[in-house]
Structure 1
Amino acid sequence: MQGTASAETTAFRSRVRKLVATHLTPLVPEAEQTRIFPREGIAAMGAEGLFRERWTGGPYGDLGRSVVISEELGRAGLGGVGAGVSLHFEAATAILRRCARTPYAIEVRENALDGRYVCCLATTEQHVGSNLAEVGSTTLTRDGSGWRVRGIKWFVSPGAAADVVLVLCRAEDGLAIAMVPQEDITVVKRLETTGMRGLGTARLDIDAHVSDEAIIAGPGLGLPMVTFGLLFERLAIAAGAVGSLELALTLASTHLRRRKQHGVALFEHQALRLRMADLVSQTALARHALYGVIAGLSAGSSSLGDLAGVKVTIARMAEPIVSECMHIFGGRGYLEDETPMARLWRDLRVGRVGAGTDEVMWELVASEMPVDDDLYDTWIPEEPS
């Protein structure tokens, strides 16, 4: 991480940046045009050992490496390609790493860590968005010696490219997670998303017979395990947004120095210069808040509400900041073939929905808001009768 980064972290960031430039950046133009997620990106990064390095250590793996990778994916302006890589090695792999106990589950986990499999998480349904406790139309029922998984999942990313989908489903005794292979999944529709066009978001029809070994979280354990996976997706969204903001701000501030009007650099106009200084300061504050929460998670002092608050705050900041950077470029900022500003702007919008909407994040924060009756009574006099 930046600022007081150690030599080891700096070297790791440099390595990640080179790997992203080599293996992922060249995939973006075609993915944006075709809306097909390039699975070879996950294969390449897994083969480089990046996913295993991120998941070295305790139950959260190496959170410092996690943040660095997500920041660099954002800073490279990868859009959906970066988001798909992130969803694979954060949300899906987090659940596999924590829950894999059977030989089949361990096989899937190892293939995911090495990039041989593309994995993703399928949770939402037609009338169920962020409130996953209401999942019910995708069912898990006993069928002979195994289980029948049946239902339609909406907004699965990168669902059309996945080898194995972790499906949140309703069993008689509560929510469970079943691993469903690609051959038992039909892509109903490739969704025409506004941003993240290379992510391969799809609506999936699932009709599978799976063995006991494929139930990675049994009935009653599905919701807490999905919540665990979403913790890392929220982290990746926040860190990726910080990286994208750094890209936008660096391009815009450089443009201020290089673009001249009437023989004077735009930087010499105080209004523009101070506007950019404000945006840079907001982003620095967001970055340090994120780093503080990550340090707290590693030490056991940060909560789910802390991360939810950072995620929603950064996601909400990102849109107006990039919009202001677009403005610095004038008309060219609105041209997708001349600057990346418009694409960054629309790609960042999904951060306010992914891994839980703004409202769900604020509810998590609200549930942890401090209450101190003694302090209140000390400072606030009793209302007169």
Structure 2
Amino acid sequence: MSDSTGSDLAEYLRLLDEVFDADYLALVESAEREGRFPRQLIEKLGTAGVFRSKWSSARHIDLPKLVALSERLGGLGSFSVSVGVTLHDSAIAVLRRFGESDYLREIADRAVEGTAIVCLGASEARGGSDLQNAESVAVPTATGYRLRGAKKFVSLSTVANFIILVVRVVSDPDADESGEVALFVVEADKVEIGEPYAKLGAAFLDTAPVEFDLEVPAEAMLARPGTGLAALSWALGSERLSVAAQVVGACDLALGVTVSQLMRRRQFGKTLFEHQALRLRFADLQARLDVLRYALRGLAASRTPLSIRTASGFKVTAVRFGEEVMSECLHVFGGAGYLSGVAPVERWWREMKLGRIGGGADEVLWELVAAGMRPDHVRHDRLVTV
């Protein structure tokens, strides 16, 4: 695990200040209006060196920079942007860690520079998180593999140059053969990408179904059979911790905007903020947000290797808290907050739900946390008499 020094992190924070300027915010707002994910959102980060600085270590995740970047993305107020950039960055994580061929290393370098966008195709046509039973397959050929199958939810697929596909490697696709999970990188223009879905939120995070039947060279294999799930877990660990940090940035924005509303709107002869019930409810949310923020930063600074259990626990805890924050913020805006286009809180409220579904639903993540729990039999026997 590679972590940045204090001075290196400070320099990275200054870089983020420069990149997320008024022009970048205008680009985000334009994309929200037009409903399409523009490549410039990732290209600008690549050109400025945001990914290059974050991935100065060839193979390992820099946790302080991951948290810093994700907080800033969440503070943009657009889940389409924050999730889209995180998906690309998570693809870089798995390419950097497991890409062994010159072909894959070149793709990783292009992704870091922002000249190529990479996304992940994992969920099957029926959806869900049961990746070890993927129906998409790879069959060995004389020169490589033939990949056949479909993925239902592939975000960024309409703008991506490359897609990382989760498949099972089998010798005969028609035989009753379980096969082992592997990862392959394919060129996006060689697969069939369907029309993007109309979604409840994250409107311009283009998510579409993908179908494929193509041959790829052996060098396109990113994770060999039997290691695919482990490699995917590496990417998902990065993504889940990123989501938790995005929630911090998003809640910080939402609370700041809502407290401003509390101090400006008057009811019964005084501002809403002067009503103790409301003031203290938001003080509670602010205190819990601070705890989450510094827990994430503390984890990042601890130099503790990122585990799938830790990342899963942070993600599920953060997003459930984020839902509560967005609901309370919407509540303060009253009827106006329930109207589309009047205040962004209704969109933030809708989009926060995505965090409890994408990247692993609550129940999947709780199972991962539970799998890592260990009993303390020694102290149980000493302290418990029944």
Task: Give the residue type in structure 1 aligned to 2:166.
Answer: L
Given candidates 337, 348, 357, the residue that maps to 2:352 is: 348
For residue 197 of structure 2, what is the aligned residue in structure 1?
A: 191
Deviation per CA, 1:320-355: give whole Å up to 9, x if none: 211101111222222231211011111111111121
**1:58 shift after superposition:** 6.8
Deviation per CA, 1:70-127: give whole Å up to 9, x if none: 11111111221221111101x1000111122212111111110000001011111023
**1:59 shift after superposition:** 4.1
TM-score, normalized by length of structure 2? 0.91
Given candidates 295, 308, 311, the residue that maps to 2:312 is: 308
C-alpha RMSD over aligned residues:
1.9
For residue 76 of structure 1, what is the aligned residue in structure 2?
A: 76
Question: Whole-Å Cα distance in 2 between the matches of residues 379 and 78 of structure 1?
Answer: 50
Question: Whole-Å Cα distance in 2 between the matches of residues 7 and 171 of structure 1?
Answer: 46
Question: Whole-Å Cα distance in 2 between the matches of residues 43 and 23 of structure 1?
Answer: 14
**1:196 shift after superposition:** 1.0
**1:165 shift after superposition:** 0.1
For residue 331 of structure 1, what is the aligned residue in structure 2?
A: 335
Deviation per CA, 1:256-311: give whole Å up to 9, x if none: 22222354222111111111101111211221222233334x233x6322221111
| Residue pair 2:132, 2:180 contacting (<8 A) in 1 also | no
**1:8 shift after superposition:** 5.8
Question: Whole-Å Cα distance in 2 between the matches of residues 268 and 14 of structure 1?
Answer: 37
Question: Whole-Å Cα distance in 2 between the matches of residues 235 and 23 of structure 1?
Answer: 27
For residue 53 of structure 1, what is the aligned residue in structure 2?
A: 53
Matched, 1:62 2:66: no
Question: Whole-Å Cα distance in 2 between the matches of residues 7 and 106 of structure 1?
Answer: 29
Identity across the alignment (%):
36
Task: Give the unaligned 5+ runs of structure 1.
Answer: none
For residue 361 of structure 1, what is the aligned residue in structure 2?
A: 365
Q: How does 1:1-385 map to 2 (within 5 A)?
A: 9=9, 12-22=12-22, 24-57=24-57, 59-89=59-89, 91-135=90-134, 137-172=135-170, 173-296=179-302, 298-300=303-305, 303-382=307-386
| Residue pair 2:144, 2:216 contacting (<8 A) in 1 also | yes
Question: Whole-Å Cα distance in 2 between the matches of residues 252 and 11 of structure 1?
Answer: 31
**1:28 shift after superposition:** 3.0
Question: Whole-Å Cα distance in 2 between the matches of residues 272 and 180 of structure 1?
Answer: 52
Question: Whole-Å Cα distance in 1 between the matches of residues 38 and 103 of structure 2?
Answer: 25
Deviation per CA, 1:218-277: give whole Å up to 9, x if none: 122211101110010001111111100000001111222222235422211111111110
Question: Whole-Å Cα distance in 2 between the matches of residues 208 and 238 of structure 1?
Answer: 36
| Residue pair 1:119, 1:163 contacting (<8 A) in 2 also | yes
Question: Whole-Å Cα distance in 2 between the matches of residues 109 and 326 of structure 1?
Answer: 41
Tell me, what secondary structure is at the counterpart of 1:161? Answer: coil
Distance 1:163 1:149, change over 3 A: same
**1:7 shift after superposition:** 6.8
**1:30 shift after superposition:** 4.3
Question: Whole-Å Cα distance in 2 between the matches of residues 306 and 231 of structure 1?
Answer: 8
Task: Give the residue type in structure 2 aligned to 1:195.
Answer: G
Question: Whole-Å Cα distance in 2 between the matches of residues 333 and 17 of structure 1?
Answer: 30
Question: Whole-Å Cα distance in 1 between the matches of residues 13 and 264 of structure 2?
Answer: 28
Question: Whole-Å Cα distance in 2 between the matches of residues 263 and 166 of structure 1?
Answer: 59
| Residue pair 1:122, 1:166 contacting (<8 A) in 2 also | yes
Tell me, what secondary structure is at the counterpart of 1:337? Answer: coil
| Residue pair 2:237, 2:307 contacting (<8 A) in 1 also | no
| Residue pair 2:12, 2:53 contacting (<8 A) in 1 also | no
TM-score, normalized by length of structure 1? 0.92
The 4+ residue runs of structure 1 with deviation greater than 6 A are none
Task: Give the residue type in structure 1 aligned to 2:142.
Answer: G
Question: Whole-Å Cα distance in 2 between the matches of residues 277 and 116 of structure 1?
Answer: 44
**1:217 shift after superposition:** 1.2
More off after superposition, 51-60 vs 17-26: 17-26
Tell me, what secondary structure is at the counterpart of 2:213? Answer: strand
Tell me, what secondary structure is at the counterpart of 2:206? Answer: coil
Distance 1:268 1:112, change over 3 A: same
Question: Whole-Å Cα distance in 1 between the matches of residues 7 and 102 of structure 2?
Answer: 39
Tell me, what secondary structure is at the counterpart of 2:209? Answer: strand
Distance 1:128 1:340, change over 3 A: closer
Distance 1:7 1:145, change over 3 A: closer
Question: Whole-Å Cα distance in 2 between the matches of residues 236 and 152 of structure 1?
Answer: 27
